[in-house]
Structure 1
Amino acid sequence: MTQFKVGDTVKVLSGGEGVITYGPVNSTYNTYKMYVVKQDGDDERTFQSTDLTLAPKFAIGDTVTSTSSGCPGTSELVAGPFKSTFQDNMYWVAERSDGKHATPYEHTLTKVAAREIKVGDRVRILRATFAEHCHGKVGTLTATDGDWRAERGDVHKFRVKLDNEGEPCVAEVELVDEAPADTCTYDGVTYDLTARYRDKDHDHWKFTGEFATDGTPLMTIYTGGHDFTHTLTQAVADYGPLYKI
């Protein structure tokens, strides 16, 4: 019988994965061991040891490094794990950065942690219940701690601000590496973020190079001996129209 310990990541027979937070303890009649497991989006629950298996250390799609000489740099796992014919070791098929493939043993692998997704990041929507038309669209992350659920256990913890398309609750996103846009369209007017603008009072505005959490460009104005920063929408509403210099 497999023995687990606190902190182990396990697969639950009824579906999903979780982390053991307490155990083992004996069942009422000492017939089996019990463990407390916390799954994402759910309360802690008690399981028999026979209902649990250790979760795989790696998964297809993981980015890894390896101490194997045949797998330099970072690679992506594309198949596996497989048990070796001649040794009691598991190995994976990894696609190297040069497009070639290698078969490193599992014990030589280290998973490369993905960069944490944070508010203000540009992300692509992968899954959003009741907002399926947004799948694949790119926007700015405005929240990561939401608790809206499409159904029990299906937490949509992200909110993503899309350009002129609302701000849906989202279950899954991925980071998008993209350069800041050189233009921004607001209320039917396209603004050049590399240019300077003059407002109705003849004060000058320029893009700071940063964005608000909703993705709106931040603009700065120098007036009265001080710099003031506003979003583009605030600048247009309070000081507009803005004229390109």
Structure 2
Amino acid sequence: MEATFKVGDKVEHRSWGAGEIAFGPYLRDGSTDNYLMKTESGDHYLTGAEAMTMTAKFKVGDTANGALTGRSLKILAGPFTGRMGVAWYAVEYPEGHAGKENERNLLAPEPVPFSDAGPVKVGDVIRILKDGAFHADVKRGDLFEVKSLVSYLDRVRVDAAPGARMSQWNFRPEDYVKVPADEAAVHDGVVYDLTAKYRDKDRDVWTLARFDDVVRGGLGHIPTSRYSGDSLEFIVNEYGPLTRVDS
């Protein structure tokens, strides 16, 4: 018979309140479903499984990730008790339809990377944090302009790279970090990394910099003001396309 709880499970005891399983299950008085529970205050008690309930892993409105698919799901209701005492939740899938998922198939989202740049909005630029993030054909460090927000799933949507199977990609908070405005620029749908250098069609290398709402480029030098060098628009039109220099 499968044990009701395992070490580390968060539980609520009918007499001692919230805590977690510190040891068990073990045999006691003919029953094999007994445990040592540690309360939040640090006290330990011997107890049977019937006196405890599992603390809910998620609450209604939470976002969870599929353990196998990695997809972001919204918790609609639950937890409910299923077969063998395993909890399940009603969820909403990215396509918009509802279903049910075993608690063991749901993972809490990874912590969102800290950024001093603030919350993301449409028009901002994000930097991808890992290769293949959320099943997209992307590399760590790739930049994208945010085209729309899927707020109830806590995701952003960007235009996919040319030739991709899909026209757009979605990313979860753990897949990206917002890029400060002085580190990126968008011109004619193309995102430029202002911390990198770019080679033009003549193989000359440009360094870019932002000055308020203006991005300037210098050939062989770093622009020092909004009046030095050439505008990004001029450089792209006269010498483009520009290719990022990765080394």
TM-score of the pair, normalised by structure 1: 0.35
TM-score of the pair, normalised by structure 2: 0.34
